[in-house]
Amino acid sequence: MRRPPSAPLAAIEALPDLGSDALALAQFCLTQRADVIPAGSGFLPENWLLEAAPGGVLARLVRGRRTQPWLPCEPQGLSELREQIASRLVQNGIAAGPANIVTTYGASQAFDLLARILLAPGDAVLVEDPGYFVLFEQLRAHHVRLIPVPRHADGPDLEALEAACRAHRPRAFFMQTLVHNPTGSSADPAHCHRILSLAEQFGFALVEDDVYGDLYAGSAVRLAQIDALRHVIYVGSYTKLIGPALRVGFIAADAALIAQLVQRKVLSVLSGSTLLECYVSEVLDSGRYKRHVEQTRARLARLRRDTRAALASAGIEFEPAPGEGIFLWGRVPESAPVAELVRRARDHSILLARGSLFSAAQGCGQWLRFNVAHSNSPPLVQFLRESLRAA
């Protein structure tokens, strides 16, 4: 596969400060540049993603499927794909059928649709801190009040969560149960049960973001598994593990909410992409996705150990809990000015993601998010070692 041409250097230099502008970081991550070390990126390497689907799959789709991939998709999503998603959810202990699912253009559209239906300007919305920076910007665009809840290795801080519920009477809580971005942590079952109890007590919706959940090793406990989609709205996506260009995600929820989401989806984009949804359906049906996830999980686990050790040797500090998945959450010593470090890294063609972008409270100023697959790089480690030694 040929890579798209790199963006002109002038276009990269014209972006705002990557240490303080979340949208600039997102734009940079989406820019194809072979000469940049994408240590702060959210994407897996291209050659990893190519393993998810056999060559020529798109040509076969156009020639051989009953569904014509160039025609509009069913408003709720391709029936075959929704059946496959429902089957996978049931395997994970989540009681959902095809009628409980609507497909979306990735998880980002799912969050936007949910915000349009669930939230009104001025509503209090709970978010994890640290958490997903793009979600924060999406919610701010709806003029809601973000209430940060500290995230720990075993899940959200339960005392802080209950205090926020009493003080703000939130409308919703957006959280990642498994393989959290950016920390790699997963909430334990006790936290899940307590969070569901608080949702019932205070009457707020729980939006469970599970885009990285397939990377969790072992027996997983999800909020939607315990709750059976009463208070929980479950969001998944195939974009992160099959390919960023394949904008296919989904929402699983009760039938009444799904009906509202379908209407809002039609008003927003009219239709999903039959071609993309057929592609994902083909990957799932072939069994390649399951093998790809297993291989990716094992590869990340090996890289995680090596990358963590390499970054630690350069002066980056980590919490004892190792975490899982794509990201490492590392702390820079207090003596090092992180904003300057991020700026200098950019001048050296290294993308670093500053922790403050992942904090709705503008905390985490001494932290950085590292992509495991891109951060065991000698030039990156040398840059960090020299920069932190000089601080």
Q: Are 333 and 339 in contact (CB under 8 A)?
A: no
Q: Average per-residue pLDDT in the chain?
A: 91
- Give residue-wise pLDDT tens across range 224-253: 999 999 999 999 999 999 988 889 999 999
Kindly provide the residue ranges of all beta strands, DSSP E only, lying in 227-366, ordered along the sequence.
232-237, 249-252, 327-331, 353-354
- Secondary structure (3-state) at 55: coil
Instruction: Report DSSP state, residue 217.
Output: -
- Going from N- to C-terminal start, the domains of the chain cover 9-51+290-390, 58-286
CATH of domain 58-286: 3.40.640.10
Residue 70: predicted pLDDT:
76
Range 314-321 average pLDDT: 94
C-alpha closest to that of 150 among 339, 385, 358, 375: 358
At 286 the pLDDT is 86
Whether the per-residue pLDDT at 10 is higher than 60: the answer is no
Q: What is the average per-residue pLDDT within 54-61?
A: 68
pLDDT given at position 62: 66
Q: pLDDT value at position 4?
A: 41
Residues 6+ apart with CB under 8 A from 259: none
R_g over Cα of the chain: 21
- CB neighbour list of residue 122: distance below 8 Å, 6 or more residues apart: 143, 144, 145
In degrees and rounded to multiples of 5, residue 278 shows phi and psi of -65, -40
User: Which fold is adopted by the domain 9-51+290-390?
Assistant: Aspartate Aminotransferase, domain 1 (3.90.1150)
Q: Which of 158, 169, 147 is nearest to 195 (CA)?
A: 158
Percent of the chain with pLDDT over 90: 77
What confidence tens digit (pLDDT) does each residue in 252-297 have? 999 999 999 999 999 999 889 998 999 999 899 888 899 999 999 9
Query: Mean pLDDT over residues 377-383, rounded?
Result: 97
Comparing CA positions, the residue from 371, 337, 373, 334 lying closest to residue 353 is 371
For residue 180, pLDDT over 50 is answered with yes
pLDDT digits (tens, 9 = 90+) for 327-355: 999 999 999 999 999 999 989 999 999 99
